[in-house]
Structure 1
Amino acid sequence: MKIKHRYLYMLIVGAVILITVRMVSAQNQNTLQDAEMKETSGIAASRINKNTFYVHNDSGDTSRFFAINPNGQLKETFEFKGDAIDCEDIAVGPGPVKGKSYVYLGDIGDNHHERRTIEIYRFPEPEITSTQTAHLQANTYYLKYPDGPRDAETLMIDPVDKLFYIVSKREDSVGVYTAPLNASFTDTISLKLQCKLHFKGLPLLKWITAGDISADGKQILLRSYQDIYYWKRKPGEPVWKAMQAKPQELKHNAEKQGEAIGFTADGKGFYTTSEGKNAPIYFYQTPK
């Protein structure tokens, strides 16, 4: 995220979070160990590479993302041809070929509410082969909101109903939008507003900065700068409807600018991390 007076903003937000967040000791804490990972804004678990997570920087970076291990060590860098503007979240889920998994990188940031379309890049999930840089071919979805441009930092994939989920960031009541995974690459896709969610808290601190749906589609996470929200989904229930129920608020360690959250591949835990060089990466168990 790039805004005017960025560092003053980060200092204020960080100080308030340290005062107000419900602290708990994470089961494991490490740090992102490569200097190139300095504006981390999303994390997602690989489905085919054991103990591997994908992370990425937000605006100002080139068109790329990284594979890391749970200790935050870089495993491989993936570059692609594209004009990424502000990538804010990453997800892994199904795609056009049954039984194969895909990485989805959400170029969905729009601080000034001025983008006519947002983009999601899709890649067949790569196998980790070295610590070098690999080049991937991206397919690009172009999407627009039904109610005008807005900023968002949350991209989720529903593996059950085969839908994209995008949650807006800054409104007092944020919008939950969907689009089908099998949408065309040649047309601009109109997102559907499914519902709005209201979370308590101060402006800025309650902005929604990341989310994830577990690989089996049964669990949902959203995070703000201050809170982490968790839902369990009932069989046959749409994700957006499950999220209208009161969430469980999970205790967690304070992060200066936490903008990433993602389930482990088995759904038994989740990781969080934040912007900044050598940012901490925390692991927590999901509720029983």
Structure 2
Amino acid sequence: MTIDTNRLTGYPPARIVFFTFLLLCFGSIASAQNTVVKIIPAELSEISGLFTSKNNLLFVHNDSGDTSRFFAIDVKGNLVSTLYFKGDPSQKHFGVNDCEDIAGGPGIVKDKSYIYLGDIGDNGSNRPYVTVYRFQEPNKFSSTMQIESEAVHLKYPNGPQDAETLMVDPILKELIIISKRQDTVGIYSTALFFKNKDTLTMKKQGSLFLPGKGLAKYVVSGDISRDGRQIIVKTYTNVYYWQRNGKESISQTLKRMPIKLPYILERQGEAIGFTPDGKAYYCISEGKNAVIYRYNLPNTSSKQVLPSRVRSSGKL
């Protein structure tokens, strides 16, 4: 989601100044990584979420201003397919309002893989409900295709929230949404096995507090590994990592102190996702010159905060 500059103190250029300041602060770290990256297709200028399929395709989407569609690209950044779906008829112009994250996992048919797209952005915190779309993951692709969708409308138990993080818990079979803007954000959940066009009120599982102030700590994306054992949550400036114990809830896991993972600061990085084997993760930012970063997951057994150093897996 493009940052709501009305929430910044100062003039409209404050957004540019903020990210320029961060890049200057962290530029020496980023330039030292020697990571080779690939520029993504021009159609994807506002990437806000990503999910990696079993065959290593990246499903990605733009945020507010785009139509009811998402994209499949390969790890080299080549556009494989543009997938269109039937959105919300009440959104007359685009079919969606503000898609902010995408995730994958189980669904209503056993042993089938599903994609979940979260139309969950709400800058003004005034939407009566947000919507998550579910698609059966395709086996074959064409350059442009129509894909069948199901939708669930979700309400928060404590009133509308702005959110950019959607995750699928394959262990407890839940959709997880984490709010974005508060100093301590909320963790909300609902069952995966919804019926098409259901309207449900989510449960507030708990809260998450991360270090930082203001924009720097906004929660903008997250993912759960396919086995449900690893969780990553991204802010504009950091990537945090947790290992899960057994079948505990996601909120229970997130109560523990996270590990800080390698991350090259992006201009407006809002997308993160594990690789299918859970041994690495991808990050992509918004912007016409956005690139794909792949990070190998370091050894986290020491439970210590890690330095911001990227181990490149080679050319993307």
TM-score by length of 2: 0.86
1:172 is aligned to 2:183: yes
1:219 is aligned to 2:207: no
Counterpart contact for 1:38–1:276, Cα < 8 Å: yes
1:43 is aligned to 2:46: no
Return the index of the structure with the highest Cα Rg: 2
Flag the structure with higher strand content.
Answer: 1
Match of 1:271 in 2: 282
Q: 1:155 to 1:9 in 2, by over 3 A?
A: farther
* Structure 1 unaligned spans of 5+: none
Tell me the distance in 1 between the aligned counterparts of 2:294 and 2:198. Answer: 39
1:62 is aligned to 2:74: no
Which residue, 70, 76, 88 being the options, matches 1:71? 76
Give the 3-state SS of the residue equivalent to 2:49 in structure 1: strand
Moved more, 187-196 or 101-110: 187-196
How far has the Cα of 1:40 moved from its partner?
Answer: 0.2
1:108 is aligned to 2:120: yes
Q: How does 1:62-141 map to 2 (within 5 A)?
A: 62-82=67-87, 83-130=95-142, 132-141=143-152
How far has the Cα of 1:26 moved from its partner?
Answer: 7.0
Q: How does 1:224-243 map to 2 (within 5 A)?
A: 224-243=235-254
Give the 3-state SS of the residue equivalent to 1:271 in structure 2: strand
How far has the Cα of 1:184 moved from its partner?
Answer: 3.1
Tell me the distance in 1 between the aligned counterparts of 2:284 and 2:131. Answer: 23
Q: CA RMSD in A?
A: 1.7
Q: How does 1:159-198 map to 2 (within 5 A)?
A: 159-198=170-209
How far has the Cα of 1:171 moved from its partner?
Answer: 0.3
How far has the Cα of 1:68 moved from its partner?
Answer: 0.6
Match of 2:33 in 1: 25
Q: 1:223 to 1:170 in 2, by over 3 A?
A: same
Matched letter for residue 129 of structure 1: F
Match of 1:157 in 2: 168
Moved more, 2-11 or 105-114: 2-11
Tell me the distance in 2 between the aligned counterparts of 1:245 and 1:216. Answer: 19
Tell me the distance in 2 between the aligned counterparts of 1:135 and 1:258. Answer: 28
Counterpart contact for 1:26–1:282, Cα < 8 Å: no
TM-score by length of 1: 0.94
- How many equivalent residue pairs? 284
Moved more, 160-169 or 179-188: 179-188
Counterpart contact for 2:150–2:197, Cα < 8 Å: no
Tell me the distance in 2 between the aligned counterparts of 1:68 and 1:118. Answer: 26
Moved more, 22-31 or 134-143: 22-31
How far has the Cα of 1:27 moved from its partner?
Answer: 5.3
Tell me the distance in 2 between the aligned counterparts of 1:139 and 1:161. Answer: 21
Counterpart contact for 2:172–2:247, Cα < 8 Å: no
Between the two structures, name the one with larger relative contact order (CA 8 Å, sep ≥ 6).
Answer: 1
Tell me the distance in 1 between the aligned counterparts of 2:237 and 2:34. Answer: 16
Give the 3-state SS of the residue equivalent to 1:100 in structure 2: coil
